[in-house]
Amino acid sequence: MITLPLLMVFIPIVTAIIIYMLERKWGNYLVFVAQGLMSYVFLRLILMFPEINEQRYVLGNWTLQSGIALKIDNLSLAFIGLSIFLWWLVLLYAWEFHGDDNKFLFFLLFLEGTFMGLLMVNDLFSLFVFIDIITILSSILVVYKKDGWSLRSGLYYLMINSMGMLTYVMGFLIVYLLTGTLNWDLATHRLALLGHTPPVYAAYILMSASVLVKAAVFPTFNWLSRAHGSAPASISTLLSGLLVKAGLYGFIRIQELFSEQLLGDFFFYLGFITALTGIIFAISQKDIKQILAFHTISQVGIILIGISQIQTDLYYGGLIHLFNHAMFKSLLFMGAGVIINHYKTRRLTEIRGVLKRFPLIAIAMIIGVLSITGTPFFNGYLGKYIIAYELQNRPFFGMLFQLINLGTLISFAKFSQIFFPDTKESLSFTPHLSTLTLTRKERFNLPIFILAFMCIFITFGYNTLGDLLQAEFPSVNLYSTSKMIQWSLLAALAIALTKIFIFSDRITPLLHRIREIKIPFYNTAYMFILFLATMLLFAH
Amino acid sequence: MKKLVSLFLILVLAFFLTTALDQGLDFWHSPSQLDAFRMSNAFVQNDVLGEGGALVFGESKNLESGSANIVTSIVVDYRSFDTLGEITVLFLSALGVGLLMGSGVRTTLRSGFILKTAAKMVAPLMLLTGIYIFTHGHLTPGGGFPGGSMMATAFLLHYFGSDTVKSNLKPLKWIESTAGALYILLGLAGLFVAGSFLQNFLPTGTLGHLVSAGIIPLVYVLVGLKVGSEVSGIVADFSKTEVVS
């Protein structure tokens, strides 16, 4: 019973090694066995959960002070549930393309094990080791296609994330020097006794900056659109739906480590800047995967607005949006994967008639679009509702938040043109379509439908999620008429703006210029230094 | 301009860090001055669980960790899980290199007579030194990582010193996977014999003897083999050139 956390880490890793060494087609079915076992272990954990609030497991029977501890609390348990769920769907989705590729499955399953480790580990250094492994694995999966573009984005991803990890090392070394322990809980306890001294600020700044690089927050967001845009569809799903959250999870943990917000509202502002940057870039894109990738950045900004104020209602708003984002963004990436695979093009202007060709998948994707734009009765509404509700006292930020919503609506109004019927012009780009028949996966794609179901289910069953996170959402009113009217007005405005500006080529040169902004690695590095310096200003 | 600004900012950051750390920390404690609550203190006393007892080289028996080299105790006993993670990092990097470069064609180097002859004599010695370093990791400075790297260097020398390398990489892949799996199995054995994953379940013997310190030498042999085969694999992969068609 006590070894359950350990099983979570080692079931996928050992299975992955077996698959790698077997190199047989039948060996590949072991991934589903491993997934089944993981789900069973998760069920065991969740059943004993309300009584045992925290489970701690110290490896090697050492003391908490010297050994490495694994700990499961409600936050990590919720993340574990989400990860296992998404890994099921990604495996089902990727089976068609990679079912006979044992190396791909090896990397995928290994990634699951290390991600579980990241969620459970309660140690400053082990967290670094797991983030390290996850970064290397993700970049291998990004370059998996081995074409020029994905190779470059993979290396870019690896370099920027390594840069971030270095500041993490500096930060935790300071924490170690201050507290004399690497254990997360003990360090929390001792840091609270130290008060606000300059070394504490230094450690806080360095550690927060590093996890924010991993979460693709402004100014180091640029790796995300490249990596997520060029990876295979199943990997983009995993990267956008889940692995970006590794950074946000680390951010929450670091806020807990230092017990309070040492930089005031800095991350709150940063969330707005990130969201707006993501939106501006997203509106200018023409590649459907790039649009989705930039929207991951903007949604990360919204989540950061929420979780920057820890232990308030705003925090739970951000947290619930994090879970909802995992659902709808995975759904959209999976759908985009099916579409790109069929049309053999990624350009928004060349894809038409999705609704007619794949009616079921298109409906699921429309559900995803409605969710991400925060439509009432779809799950994106919940988080956005709570955040907007908590911003009532700060009218300026409330307005800014509505602007972000408007931007999301505009760019998805643009995205929705893929559902329009075929035109002669669009057919001329994709002449091969008439000869293609739909494969079974394109007609009935189970993972996509499960995600679409979840997008609606969570809206009405949000209390279940709330129980898991030990949060209550008293402010949520699903049937609020004023919100519905507000949303309809925003949507009408967005459609009008899209029609006036985007479909009519009025600002095409501007969009083109934004689209062509390529931030090279050294500029990102400069901005990262600038970012650290800005945080320093807020500290004093 | 950008470079100057960033240089200035880096200097500001460095200044802040050094002054900040200067106020709160003192780097130069001697072990006896260390606060009792610090983990390093417990490590230096080689007595994490607080059972006491003085350490005498060649006489002390049944110590907590049993390794004469405290760094080794930390790396493969107290914090063994991290080491498992670190060799995983190496393993995956090697796989990544193999994935990217493994499809190329091996180039053959032309080497001179002196290099060839010297390589034949020196490479086995280096291999032996590597093995010595990782089998004595619990007694002397060194251990699995430097020992394994030494073995890989021997492989590199062998590669430079011969015109035709008929190296079949299959055994290397096999050694690295098996060593990794055995490390996890050793951890699981600790779980079943002593009750906790990666626990040191063998008797720790006398301090300073070759056969002492429980599973530590075993783990270091596995780490050494794994690191050696992985780095050799990377060397072999890098010696390939991509065929541009």
Domain coordinates in residue numbering, chain B: 2-44, 70-241
Mutation to test the A interface, candidates B18, B65, B84, B92, most A Cβ within 10 Å: B92
The model's confidence at residue B35, banded by pLDDT at 50, 70 and 90, is low
Q: Name residues whose C-beta falls within 8 Å of residue A229's C-beta, 6 or more positions apart in sequence.
A: A153, A236, A287, A289, A290, A293
Q: Is A527 on the interface with B (CB under 8 A)?
A: no
pLDDT of residue B144: 84
pLDDT of residue A52: 65
The distance of B197 to chain A (nearest Cα, Å) reads: 5
pLDDT of residue B33: 54
B44 contacts in A (CB within 8 Å)? none
A274 pLDDT more than 90:
yes
The distance of B153 to chain A (nearest Cα, Å) reads: 24
Classify each residue of A306-326 as buried b or exposed e, where b means 16 or more C-beta atoms within 10 Å of its C-beta: bbbbbeebbbbbbbbbbbbbb
What mean pLDDT do residues A431-443 have?
A: 70
What mean pLDDT do residues A394-420 have?
A: 89
Residue of chain A minimizing CA distance to B89: A133
Q: Contact A202/B20, CB-based, under 8 Å?
A: yes
Q: Is A8 on the interface with B (CB under 8 A)?
A: no
Q: Is A199 on the interface with B (CB under 8 A)?
A: yes
Classify each residue of A405-429 as buried b or exposed e, where b means 16 or more C-beta atoms within 10 Å of its C-beta: bbbbbbbbbbbbbbbeebeeebeee
pLDDT, mean over chain B: 79
Q: Containing H/E element for B39?
A: helix B39-44
pLDDT of residue A261: 75
Q: Is A114 on the interface with B (CB under 8 A)?
A: yes
Contact criterion met (CB below 8 Å) for B42 and B48: yes
A214 pLDDT more than 60:
yes
Report the residue from B88, B92, B198 with minimal CB separation from A59. Answer: B198
Interval B140-169: pLDDT, tens: 888 888 999 998 898 888 877 776 655 667
pLDDT of residue A209: 92
Candidates B99, B238, B231; CA nearest to B176 is B231
The torsion angles phi and psi of A224, rounded to 5 degrees, stand at -65, -50
B214 pLDDT more than 70:
yes
Interval B36-61: pLDDT, tens: 677 777 777 666 665 666 667 777 77
pLDDT of residue B78: 83
Interval A460-504: pLDDT, tens: 877 777 777 777 777 777 788 888 888 888 888 888 888 888 777
Q: Which residue has the higher pLDDT, A220 or B53?
A: A220
B30 pLDDT more than 60:
no
Contact criterion met (CB below 8 Å) for B72 and B143: yes
Going by their DSSP bridges, the two strands B240-241 and A69-72 should be labelled as: unpaired
pLDDT of residue A297: 92
The distance of B169 to chain A (nearest Cα, Å) reads: 14
First to last CA, chain A: 48
Contact criterion met (CB below 8 Å) for A448 and A361: yes
A171 pLDDT more than 60:
yes
The distance of A529 to chain B (nearest Cα, Å) reads: 7
Interval A320-349: pLDDT, tens: 899 999 999 999 999 998 888 888 888 888
Q: Name residues whose C-beta falls within 8 Å of residue A298's C-beta, 6 or more positions apart in sequence.
A: A274, A275, A276, A277, A278, A279, A282, A404, A407, A408
B32 pLDDT more than 60:
no
Report the residue from A21, A139, A174 with minimal CB separation from B177. Answer: A21
Q: Helix (H, G, I), strand (E, B), or coil: what is residue A347?
A: strand
Q: Name residues whose C-beta falls within 8 Å of residue B76's C-beta, 6 or more positions apart in sequence.
A: B83, B137, B143, B144, B216, B219, B220, B223
Q: Is A146 on the interface with B (CB under 8 A)?
A: yes
pLDDT of residue B125: 92
Q: Contact A17/B177, CB-based, under 8 Å?
A: yes
The distance of A41 to chain B (nearest Cα, Å) reads: 18
% of chain A surpassing 90 pLDDT = 19
Q: Contact B88/A139, CB-based, under 8 Å?
A: no
Q: Contact B6/A529, CB-based, under 8 Å?
A: yes
Contact criterion met (CB below 8 Å) for A160 and A130: no
Report the residue from B85, B93, B199 with minimal CB separation from A126. Answer: B85
Q: Contact A133/B184, CB-based, under 8 Å?
A: no
pLDDT, mean over chain A: 85
Q: Contact A62/B21, CB-based, under 8 Å?
A: no
ipTM: 0.86
Q: Contact A536/B19, CB-based, under 8 Å?
A: no
What mean pLDDT do residues A314-321 have?
A: 88
The distance of B237 to chain A (nearest Cα, Å) reads: 16
Q: Contact B95/A126, CB-based, under 8 Å?
A: no
